[in-house]
Amino acid sequence: MENRIITIENGIVAIPHRVSMGIAEIADLFGVFYQTAKREIHSIEKSGIADGDYSQSCTCNGSKVPPDYYGLEMVISVAFRVQSAKAKLFRKWLIRRISASAHPIVEQLAGKIQLTDKFLWN
């Protein structure tokens, strides 16, 4: 099976094409305790923000067994809930990536509308 976990080494974030990580891997990624990651994941699932990969889970005696793996949506959600140096680095990296990919769209829109608050666009 190919490596499907996100890594942060020397300040460099590497994300595979398809992310599939367990709770322990998510905890290790952000440098937090297993129970902290598990608690945040449970809270995120309960609120309906993100779900795990239920394709390999089952229902036993009417109770749904929690999934073993979580995708990028869950990892991003956890990153914004835990307070650690690695989570902060991941959040900054993510925001830079989103900003960089959205920049051409913003420039295109800015050319079509009159800017009233120029400092917001700098």
Alpha carbon distances (Å) from 95 to 2, 7, 48, 98: 27, 17, 23, 5
Q: And the tokens for 88?
A: 């902060």
Model confidence at 116, pLDDT cuts 50, 70, 90, reads very low
49-93 residue pLDDT tens? 988 876 656 666 766 666 788 999 999 999 999 999 999 999 999
Q: What is residue 108's predicted lDDT score, i.e. its pLDDT?
A: 57
Percent of the chain with pLDDT strictly greater than 90? 45
DSSP bridge pairs for 9:
12
Least confident of 7-11, 21-25, 31-35, 65-69: 65-69
Q: What is residue 1's predicted lDDT score, i.e. its pLDDT?
A: 47
Q: What is residue 118's predicted lDDT score, i.e. its pLDDT?
A: 45
Question: What string of DSSP letters covers 3-49?
Answer: ----EEETTEEE--SS--B-HHHHHHHHT--HHHHHHHHHHHHHHTS
Q: 14 and 75 in contact (C-beta within 8 Å)? A: no
Q: Residue 1 is which amino acid? A: M
Q: What is residue 111's predicted lDDT score, i.e. its pLDDT?
A: 55
pLDDT above 80 for 27: yes
Q: What is residue 122's predicted lDDT score, i.e. its pLDDT?
A: 44
